[in-house]
Structure 1
Amino acid sequence: MVKSAVTLTRKILHGIEDGVLVSLISSLLLISFTQIVMRNAGIAGFTWAEDASRVIVLWLAMFGAMRASRLRNHIAIDLMTHYGQPWLKRVLHMVVCLFSATVCGFAAWHCLEFVIGEYEFPTEAFLGIPVWACEAIMPFALAVIGMRFLHQVFLPPLDAEIDTEQTADTPAQ
């Protein structure tokens, strides 16, 4: 019962994450397309569009990184894990995930301090939206990514899953 509730909650949160990502891409395309059409029609365009586009790109990058870490599809430099015994791959996978989680945790902490500093000295980004609200995605996303890396410490490395499938399918000689 608890496992199904956790699975359902996870699916809902992942759906929200993907929905926000799609909304951000759609918003960026709509703003950019509208600006192009308005400028070609001789209309000046929206004064806030460039600032909004920059913020949307930041949010896209952070949500994209969150999605990539969720799917274990992020950029990884793991040469050592490709050339070793399964136990070594497992150990290196755990070390890399712990290190990545630690780095993300420190980055999230410092981003949070940065956002708090921006909150204390309020400035406007565009359309009355404060700068700190635009930057708040950074500590949130880095914390989520860090927690996902921490969770992946307990998951087998992707190569180990592939190796076990290949050895199971290989006929005995």
Structure 2
Amino acid sequence: MLTRVLDILYRGAGVLAGVFLVAIAVIVASQIVARLMGKIVPSADEFAGFCLAATSFLGLAFAFREGSHIRVTLFVHAARGWLRQVFLVVALAIAATIMGIFAWHTLKMVGQNLMRNEVTSGLIPMPLWLPQAGMAIGVLLFFIAILEDLVRALLGKSPVFTTGESDPRGSDNPAADTH
């Protein structure tokens, strides 16, 4: 049940990442048209940058769950049985620790900017926490996705991210396990 709810959240964040990607294209296209007409779109570069950050971070958890992240799986795929599970647990524990620290500090930064009423420095000032929120939400969801797979691995189950990858050896693929 929890996995389904989280999958909906990850998929929703992935859709939002796509929306921000389209927004980048719209901003760039409008800036090109404006320049052809001798005009500018105020803060276009800044807003495109905000959209890029939102796209990048909101897509993390969805890409992780789909097995789309680039991972070095040399040791995991070379190992068999319990050693393979140990490698998975260690890798996921390290990733969860790093992303947990990153999520904590990112959420703290957004909260501080919200409390201080900080604004962007571009031609069109906007509350700084607003563009930072996409990053914070994306990092938090990525941390939760890694943590969920860590718990699955600790329980001896296959992490969900393995369903999107293929094992070069074939038969000993953890993705073949049911979850």
Bin the TM-score by the shorter chain. Answer: 0.7 to 0.9
The answer for the alignment partner of 1:105 in structure 2 is: 100
Deviation string for 1:96-138 (max 9, x for gaps)?
1121111111111111222222223323236453001211223
The answer for the alignment partner of 2:13 in structure 1 is: 17
1:109-120 superposed matches below 5 A: 109-120=104-115
Change (3 A) 1:111 1:14: closer
Indicate the RMSD between aligned Cα atoms, in angstroms.
Answer: 2.6
Contact 1:89 1:160 in 2 (8 A): no
Q: Which amino acid aligns with 1:34?
A: S
Contact 2:110 2:132 in 1 (8 A): yes
**Which structure 1 residue ranges, 5 or more long, are not aligned?**
169-173
Q: Secondary structure in 2 aligned to 1:18? A: helix
Q: Which amino acid aligns with 1:107?
A: F
TM-fit CA distance, 1:14: 4.3
1:86 counterpart (81, 84, 88): 81
TM-fit CA distance, 1:76: 1.6
Q: Secondary structure in 2 aligned to 1:72? A: coil
TM-fit CA distance, 1:83: 1.8
1:132-151 superposed matches below 5 A: 132-151=129-148
TM-fit CA distance, 1:15: 4.3
Change (3 A) 1:161 1:151: farther
Identity %: 22
| Equivalent pairs, count | 161
Change (3 A) 1:24 1:37: same
The answer for the alignment partner of 2:49 in structure 1 is: 54
Q: Which amino acid aligns with 1:147?
A: I
Q: Which amino acid aligns with 2:65?
A: R
TM-fit CA distance, 1:54: 0.7
TM-fit CA distance, 1:10: 4.8
Q: Which amino acid aligns with 2:144?
A: M
**Which structure 2 residue ranges, 5 or more long, are not aligned?**
none
Answer with 1 or 2: which has the greater Rg.
Answer: 1
Q: Which amino acid aligns with 2:30?
A: T
The answer for the alignment partner of 1:164 in structure 2 is: 172
Contact 1:108 1:138 in 2 (8 A): no
> TM-score normalized by structure 1?
0.79
Q: Secondary structure in 2 aligned to 1:164? A: coil
Choose 60-69 or 26-35, whichever is displaced more.
60-69
Choose 54-63 or 16-25, whichever is displaced more.
16-25
The answer for the alignment partner of 1:66 in structure 2 is: 61
